[in-house]
Amino acid sequence: MKQADNNAPIQQTFQYRKKRQQGVTRSVITGAVTALWLALQGAVGSPPGLAVRGEADTQDSYSELLQNIDSGRVSRVELDESRSVARVFLRGQPDTEAREVVLFADDNPEFYEAIRRNDVQLDVQRSTDGSALAGLVFHALLAFIAIMILLMFLRRTSNASGQAMNFGKSKARFQMEAKTGVLFDDVAGIEEAKEELQEVVTFLKKPERFTAVGARIPRGVLLVGPPGTGKTLLAKAIAGEAGVPFFSISGSEFVEMFVGVGASRVRDLFKKAKENAPCIVFIDEIDAVGRQRGTGIGGGNDEREQTLNQLLTEMDGFEGNAGVIIIAATNRPDVLDQALLRPGRFDRQVIVDFPSLKGRLGILEVHARNKKLAPDVSLEAIARRTPGFSGADLANMLNEAAILTARRRKESITSLEVDDAIERVVAGMERVPLVDSKKKRLVAYHEVGHALIGTLLKDHNPLLKVSIIGRGQAMGLTWFEPGEEIPTRNYFLDRITAILGGRAAEEVIFGDAEVTIGASDDLQKLTSMAREMVTRYGMSDLGPYALENDSSEVFLGRDLMSRSEFSEEIATKVDQQVRQIVTHCYAHACRIIRENRTLIDRIVDILIEQETIEGEQFREIVEQYTPIPEGQVASKTA
């Protein structure tokens, strides 16, 4: 009964639209037929008499015919009444030279009186009358065109009515044999997830292996992970491997502006899936419809919640859905309703995370199959340089390298194109190099400050390169090798000190008055890092307390304002601890800059000349001018 009430406004809306469209259809048909009739009448419907008179300029006139008859020169006249044409035969002339005279469309009494008075032979001959046939063809053609126009508008009306009736039908794409072109061999970097899903494929192909020991098929598998890690690709691989009917739909396609439509589409989807069981139903971005209930404005009784309720019922309700496996993907598991995540609906949650070193190497091997790489390109070296890259990032990076290779008219991708592609993906397009000026020298000191402090500190990541060629919004860049080890307190302090190296170099070299805004992004990063040390990791004098959580999501209807998880007194102490960490690291950075002023000047001169210094060359320069503790630089170059 509730569903009928929900569908009532929809039916009224479509009835109104249907009546309105029928009225418009009748008006359009009437206007079109009328206009067509007038146009064709104007083109071919002119009176025959007028057309004949137009041809009389090259023939004898009517008055000449009467004069010839009265003068006795005419021997015989043949009259064609259908054409209103008289053929005149003169005395003493052969019949082949007979002249034609066009008569008027009326009875022509003068003509018949002259014929009778002069005793001229009159023969009446009727030629085939094509006007009736032409009129018949014309009207038949007109009727045919009118019928075609009527059928066209009726078809449109019926399609609109059909769309109204199919409004609650599922929009899922269906493939009896899912030929996605993707198999498990094409998916790399997420071996654990592949093993979990391989069992699902085996269950669909050989269910007796599991049912013999009392195992039942999983009802749902939820793929969870950051964007670009391969969740949709895994679903395509499952469909390609299983060889069973495959339904695919996005979570947003369930939701419409009319209440009840989404629930109707869920019912229709599962009805089709049960008819084709065993099968797979893939719902991409399920968080669009599966968000927590009771978080909307106005009590939460909206279209999305009704759709979610229907989805919960179909997945695990009174009616079973044996043989239907639901595979869903999301990158926001924290917003999903708890009833959707319980066993019986989604029995498994497969984490699809960023790939490890071995995983990145496998992904690069997959995407490098159709690319021509130079012998100097090492996929393992690329994998080591790209921690934190997702599968989509790696694929995009290799594609950018191929584009740069084609632009530079090279036959194969070299390590130079790969390096440029990595930098382009991370930092953006390369900017025009700065001219030799005060600005260029200031940028050089700023970047050398980052690079030198990062090289001298023990727990910092090794330097890859330092450059004063800007990319994106940055006028210069300093690259460090990303580390995959578990971060420690010293690691965070060294990173904050290296980040402050640019601002410290500006202040020590040029003075307080010459400090620029170039460190604005650096300050945001280090402040966030220092605050996390205090509030999340317990790395401060406040003790091992977690004062903030990972999620800062605000749900309308539940928390309209962010709520502090600690008192104002603790908040003041947090600010003091953050300031203390940053102040300590900044003083340390300034001290390192002052102690190595000569070395910094030497490196800046080289950087201005070369514009880019690789990490190995930078460490060699530092070794020549600074006594580094034994084993420090060696460990960084290993």
Is residue 500 a part of any domain in this protein? Answer: yes
Task: Answer whether residue 494 shows pLDDT above 90.
Answer: yes
CA distances from 387 to 24, 192, 395, 496 (A): 63, 18, 14, 20
pLDDT of residue 51: 33
Name the pLDDT band for 10 (thresholds 50, 70, 90).
Answer: very low
What is the predicted pLDDT for the residue at 554? Answer: 43
In a domain, 423, yes or no: yes
* pLDDT above 70 (res 372): yes
Is the pLDDT assigned to residue 240 strictly greater than 60? yes
Residue 226 lies inside a defined structural domain of this protein: yes
Q: Which domain holds residue 388?
A: 357-427
Whole-angstrom distance, CA of residue 299 vs CA of residue 114: 104
From the list 518, 522, 571, the residue with the least C-alpha distance to 542 is 571
Q: How many Cα atoms are found within 13 Å in the side-chain-facing hemisphere of 322?
A: 3
Average pLDDT over residues 56-77: 71
Give the other-Cβ count within 10 Å of 506's Cβ. Answer: 22
CA distance 320 to 308: 18
Contact by Cβ (8 Å): 586, 542: no
pLDDT digit string, tens, across residues 131-141? 566 777 877 88
Model confidence pLDDT, tens digit, residues 83-131: 677 778 887 777 777 777 777 655 677 777 777 788 777 777 765 555 5
Domain boundary among 98, 127, 156: 127
Residue 33: Cβ within 10 Å count: 17
Q: Are residues 106 and 40 in the same domain?
A: no
pLDDT band at 5 (very low <50, low <70, confident <90, very high): very low
Among 427, 460, 489, where does a domain finish? 427
The whole-angstrom separation of Cα 622 and Cα 255 is: 62
More confident residue, 478 or 12: 478
Residue 260 within a domain: yes
The catalytic position among 305, 447, 506, 507 is 447
> Residue 35's pLDDT is what?
54
Supply 506's token pair.
């500006």
Work out the number of other CB atoms within 10 angstroms of the CB of residue 72: 11
The mean pLDDT of 328-354, rounded to a whole number, is 86
Residues 6+ apart with CB under 8 A from 385: 422, 464, 481, 482
**Candidate from 48-57, 336-345, 592-601 with smallest mean pLDDT:** 48-57
* Between 631 and 33, residue with greater pLDDT: 33
What pLDDT, on a 0 to 100 scale, did the predictor assign at position 571?
87
Q: Does residue 573 contact residue 603 with C-beta atoms inside 8 Å?
A: no
User: Tokens for 493?
Assistant: 């302090």
In our burial notation (b when 16+ CB lie closer than 10 A, e otherwise), range 557-575 reads eeeeeeeeeeeeeeeebbe
Which pLDDT score is estimated for 600? 93
332 and 288 Cβ atoms separated by less than 8 Å: no
For residue 169, the model assigns a pLDDT of 56
Residue 493: predicted pLDDT:
94
187, 238: one domain = yes
433 inside domain? no
36 and 79 housed in the same domain: no
Q: Are 332 and 225 in the same domain?
A: yes
Identify the CATH number of the domain in which residue 561 sits. Answer: 1.20.58.760
From residue 278, give the alpha-carbon distance in Å to each of 170, 197, 243: 19, 16, 10
Q: Are 147 and 32 part of one and the same domain?
A: yes
Position 339 scores a pLDDT of: 86
Handedness of CA 40, 43, 48, 50 (dihedral sign): positive
Range of lowest pLDDT (187-196, 217-226, 397-406): 187-196
* Type of residue numbered 410: K
Helix (H) / strand (E) containing 564: none
Judge if 22 and 79 occupy the same domain: no
- The per-residue DSSP string of 281-318 comes to EEEESGGGT-BPTT-STTTT-SHHHHHHHHHHHHHSSS
Please indicate, yes or no, if residue 432 is contained in any of the structural domains: no
pLDDT at 42 over 80: no
pLDDT at position 161: 46
390 and 502 both lie in a single domain:
no
How many folded domains does the chain comprise? Answer: 5
The CATH number linked to 412 is 1.10.8.60
How far is Cα 139 from Cα 127, in angstroms, rounded to an integer?
23
Rounded Cα gap, residues 318 and 156, in angstroms: 41
Backbone phi, psi, residue 124, to 5°: -100, 120
pLDDT bucket at 580, cuts 50 / 70 / 90: very high
Taking the CA atoms of residue 169, residue 175, residue 180 and residue 183 in that order, the dihedral angle to the nearest 10 degrees is 120
Q: Which residue has the higher pLDDT, 9 or 588?
A: 588
Q: Are residues 104 and 197 in the same domain?
A: no
Beta partners for 465? 479, 614
Question: What average pLDDT is seen over the chain?
Answer: 77
For residues 587-597, average pLDDT: 93
Contact between residue 172 and residue 281 where contact means Cβ atoms under 8 Å apart: yes
CATH number where 293 lies:
3.40.50.300
Higher pLDDT, 500 or 30: 500
Q: Tokens standing for 148?
A: 């075609």
Nearest to 460 by CA among 440, 435, 478: 478
Distance CA 97, CA 626 (A): 126
Q: Model confidence over 551-568: pLDDT tens digits? A: 544 444 444 445 566 788
In a domain? residue 366: yes
If asked whether residues 534 and 591 sit together in one domain, one would say yes
Least confident of 146-150, 409-413, 432-436, 527-531: 432-436
Residue 196: active-site member: no
Extract the tokens encoding 617.
Answer: 């060359």
At residue 293, the pLDDT reads: 76
**Greatest mean pLDDT among 62-66, 207-211, 307-311, 589-593:** 589-593
In a domain, 343, yes or no: yes
Q: Residue 46 above 50 pLDDT?
A: no
Q: What is the CATH number of the domain that holds 77?
A: 3.30.720.210
Residues 237 and 119 in one domain: no
Same domain, 139 and 240: no
Is residue 207 over pLDDT 90? Answer: no
Looking at 395, 427, 459, the residue that finishes a domain is: 427
Are residues 252 and 317 located together in one domain of the fold?
yes
CA 190 to mean position of chain CA atoms: 25
The average pLDDT across 276-299 equals: 75
Over 90: is that where the pLDDT of 406 sits? Answer: yes
Model confidence at 505: pLDDT above 90: yes
pLDDT of 34 strictly over 60: no
- Residue 452 confidence class, pLDDT cut points 50, 70, 90: very high
Residue 387's pLDDT band, with cuts at 50, 70 and 90, is confident
Segment (H or E) for 555: none
Residue 44: the pLDDT is 45
* Res 217: pLDDT: 76
| Number of Cβ atoms within 10 Å of the Cβ of 443 | 26
Q: Please report which helix (H) or strand (E) contains residue 46, including its range.
A: none
Q: Is the pLDDT of residue 160 over 50?
A: no
DSSP 482-545: PP-SPP-HHHHHHHHHHHTHHHHHHHHHH-GGG--GGGHHHHHHHHHHHHHHHHTS--STT-S-
Q: Name the residue type at position 77.
A: V
Residue 611 neighbours by CB under 8 Å, 6+ apart: 433, 467, 468, 469
